[in-house]
Structure 1
Amino acid sequence: MSYRLYVRPLPLSAGSGEDPEALLYNWVLYDAGGDAQAQGSRDLRSTVEQTLSQNGLDDVLLAGLIPGDEALFCVADIPAKQSRFINQALPYAVEEQIAQDIDSVHLALGLHTQEGFRVAAIDRGRMAEWLELFSGWLHTRLDAIYPDAALLPVTEGGWSICLDGDNAMMVSDRGEWLSMQSANLGMFAHTLAAPSSEDVVVEVPVVVYGTETEFEEQQAVLGELMAPGRLSVRQESLALMPLELLAHAHHNHLCRPINLCQRDFSVSSGKASPLKPWKPLIAVAALWFVVQVTLEAGMGFYYQKQADELRQQAMSVYRASFPGDSRTHAGNVRRVVEGQLRMAGSDGPDASFVTLMKYTGQQYSQVANTGSVTFNSINYSQSRGELVVDVRAESYDRLSALRNGLAGQGLDAKIGSVVNESSGARGRLTVSGG
């Protein structure tokens, strides 16, 4: 079962200095069903960790809540849709809404609305301090850091306010959060009650959360909220501390907070991989694959070497028998030898006119299409043992194909006096015994 721990640090008391170990926390532990399994107020970190250990809990998701005034709410109107372009344009889109150097501010991206992207801005130095504060808790894994006011339940079309001692947390239906002193709520109420020139005057719903004790102590403030008349104020009593309201709203998706753990401060790399239990098996399979590939590659190299040696031996024998033949190589030696054997079987060492005409005619019938290759004249020199053919073709490639075919039969075929004309190419084909 998945558990989530909500932790909200209290301000350091006077005389405690800046020692993080002296910080006290309000906290609540939720299970996957949305039930609070444990909670505490004003406890040390060690107390919270000990509680998790006693209940046998591990890898609990931790959500840290920081004061709402630590992070500023902005809206970025960016037309891009790809996250890469959005992140590039984000600093320029909110620069005018932030009163400090934009390079010293960490920006976290929220949901996209009709107005634009919701953005949370926080000083980089402070964000690093908060990240360090919530990291490394025993039996937990940091999942998110939120401004506390952003976790209030959203009131449709209006505002939600939670009284928290001398302070008040507020959030609007557009996602904007604020934290201020409770004494200033009256001034804030007059701001809400004053509509702009473009607004239709309607009531603004406001839900105020607090304990009965706080309602009694803040009667004057509540009276100022209702005084303007345009606000429709409704009170919701809390039985316990405000943190439980925030945790309940977040667990039940009643709010739309922005997780500050993004980009440079992302904690996603710390999440457990679903493949972790299978890592030993994956390692064995990878090792077997490497061994198998290495073995196959080794056998391939061995057989390739054997084949190269056999080809070299064959060429050595051929070169010893035909030292003057420079055109034959390992790739065509078999075809050349077969042609020479056919010729030797037909006519012996010297090729006669009939033999040369037979092979030339065979290649002509294979190469020539209708009218593409023509013989204009044929001459035979018995003293030289050469057949000279004046041939015309539609292209030089046809002439070359005819010559290569004859060479493949073991004959010595050459093309000379080639002339390229508009109608094709003509040349003189000289064929003799190989």
Structure 2
Amino acid sequence: MRESLLIHVGERPEQPIHWLVFNAVEDEVIASGQLQGADALAELSEKAQHRDCTLILPSAQVQLQSVKLPAKWSRKLAQALPFMVEEQVAVDIDTLFIAQGDAYSLGEEHFINVAMVNKQWLAHWLDMCAEADITPAKVYVDALLLPEPAEGRASVLALTDDCFIVRHGAWLGAQLEATWASEFLTAAQITALDLYSPLAEIPTAVEAHSHEDKFELPLAMFAKATSPVNLRQGAFAYKKKSSGWIKVWRPAIAASVVTLLFMLGVKGAQWYHYSQAANATKEQVVSTYEKAFPGTKVRPHLLRNQINKALGDSGSSDSARFLVMLQDFADIVQQSEQFVTQTLRFDQRRNELRVGARAKDFQSFAQVKARLEQRGFEVEQGSLNNDGESVVGELRIKGAQ
């Protein structure tokens, strides 16, 4: 797991902001500190690079509720959720963002946990983080990061001398001030406190149990905790930022892909064309062999052996001379994908094979001519004509005398 940056903000932008860099693998605090306010968030820009960023909100700005449902949780109920909680809030429901927690059942009754926060307030903090090049993937509520207490108890963590947060259930939390903390604890029927930091003034009428072995920086405790809800959902869902080089090279990559697909299409069409031409040439060779040796059964995959055997049986006959030339010519044509045979005629008197062909360019004719001459044939090249995107012409091949 990578290192993480936690940022704990206050209710107002001008209040101090606490931050901490934590390494979960080593269970180690790398660095921590305090900013004077939101205007100083840019000081954390470098620390946010290549780290998982978490924004932690104060409980005073988030209202936690368990909403009773008419049926089991579904998408239809999600659309009706604002109407279900409207009567339980003192502000215009349209100003609130409702984050959904877990849905659960108690007997025959169904519930869902929700966390409600002012839309404009949350958007403002996320905008300020974005301006500082900080992109929190998670947004948590501070009280819900405290250990979940037993019934009738509350987990307590001091933020300042006169302010602390409490968690008094799986989905219950609050931010308290010393002046009215006792009244809240009594109303919430909390009889005992589990302290995870020193508390300047312990409220009356409750027992306090100090867990000194677990005392540490508040953000260090938050870094190790698991939150039951992430407020980055719905309209505030986290969108992973693309790497800078991808944005720069995206047009070039797209153009390369299009070019590659086009080239594959062209190559595929060429392969199909040459495959068809090879099949046509093969059929011509088989047809010519059958005419030269009537009554024989041609096996295409054994044609070379059949020709060699026929040559041995025919000696120096005209058919043998023709087959020698045809065999060599077929070998050479197979080596040149750009050269396609269109007609074959054998002049027995001249011992000459006349080939009408179509090729990609003049050079293709020259290559076939040169290869035939290397086999000992005398080759005359007829007139060549440019026919659009290809060249057509004739070769006259004479066997050795």
Return the TM-score normalized by structure 1: 0.51
Matching residue of 1:173: 169
| Distance across 1 between alignment mates of 2:99 and 2:215 | 33
Matching residue of 1:37: 30
Taking a change above 3 Å as real, the CA distance of residues 58 and 74 of structure 1, as seen in their structure-2 partners, is same
Taking a change above 3 Å as real, the CA distance of residues 298 and 276 of structure 1, as seen in their structure-2 partners, is same
**1:55-204 to 2 correspondences below 5 Å:** 58-78=49-69, 79-82=71-74, 84-114=75-105, 116-138=111-133, 140-157=134-151, 158-164=153-159, 165-193=161-189
**1:17-416 to 2 correspondences below 5 Å:** 24-33=16-25, 34-42=27-35, 53=46, 58-78=49-69, 79-82=71-74, 84-114=75-105, 116-138=111-133, 140-157=134-151, 158-164=153-159, 165-193=161-189, 206-211=193-198, 214=199, 217-219=200-202, 221=203, 223-226=204-207, 233-237=208-212, 239-249=215-225, 253=226, 255-256=227-228, 258-270=229-241, 284-290=256-262, 292-293=264-265
Find out whether 1:9 has 2:9 as its counterpart.
yes
Structure 1 position 127, deviation (Å): 1.9
Structure 1 position 176, deviation (Å): 1.4
- Report if aligned partners of 1:7, 1:25 keep a CA contact under 8 Å in 2: yes
| Distance across 2 between alignment mates of 1:294 and 1:102 | 60
- Report if aligned partners of 1:4, 1:31 keep a CA contact under 8 Å in 2: yes
Deviations 1:272-309 (A, max 9, x none): 69x99997777644542255458879999xxxxxxxxx
Deviations 1:374-420 (A, max 9, x none): xxxxxxxxxxxxxxxxxxxxxxxxxxxxxxxxxxxxxxxxxxxxxxx
The count of corresponding residues between Structure 1 and Structure 2 is 261
Q: Tell me, what secondary structure is at the counterpart of 2:180?
A: helix
Structure 1 position 244, deviation (Å): 2.6
Structure 1 position 10, deviation (Å): 4.5
| Distance across 1 between alignment mates of 2:89 and 2:262 | 55
Structure 1 position 119, deviation (Å): 0.5
- Report if aligned partners of 1:10, 1:42 keep a CA contact under 8 Å in 2: no
Structure 1 position 51, deviation (Å): 6.7
Structure 1 position 5, deviation (Å): 0.9
Percent of pairs with identical residues: 19
Taking a change above 3 Å as real, the CA distance of residues 292 and 85 of structure 1, as seen in their structure-2 partners, is farther
Taking a change above 3 Å as real, the CA distance of residues 148 and 271 of structure 1, as seen in their structure-2 partners, is farther
Q: Which amino acid aligns with 1:235?
A: S
- Report if aligned partners of 1:59, 1:141 keep a CA contact under 8 Å in 2: no
| Distance across 1 between alignment mates of 2:78 and 2:270 | 49
Deviations 1:147-169 (A, max 9, x none): 22222121133421223321221
Extract unaligned runs of 5+ from structure 2.
273-401
Name the larger-Rg structure.
1
Q: Tell me, what secondary structure is at the counterpart of 1:153?
A: coil
| Distance across 2 between alignment mates of 1:271 and 1:32 | 25
| Distance across 2 between alignment mates of 1:149 and 1:102 | 23
Structure 1 position 122, deviation (Å): 1.2
Taking a change above 3 Å as real, the CA distance of residues 80 and 129 of structure 1, as seen in their structure-2 partners, is same
Structure 1 position 218, deviation (Å): 0.8
Structure 1 position 173, deviation (Å): 2.4
Structure 1 position 26, deviation (Å): 1.0
Q: Tell me, what secondary structure is at the counterpart of 1:218?
A: coil
Deviations 1:215-268 (A, max 9, x none): xx314x2x4323xxxxxx42223654433322332xxx3x42x22222112223
| Distance across 1 between alignment mates of 2:120 and 2:40 | 28
| RMSD, aligned CA | 3.7
Structure 1 position 70, deviation (Å): 0.8
Q: Tell me, what secondary structure is at the counterpart of 2:148?
A: coil
Taking a change above 3 Å as real, the CA distance of residues 297 and 113 of structure 1, as seen in their structure-2 partners, is farther
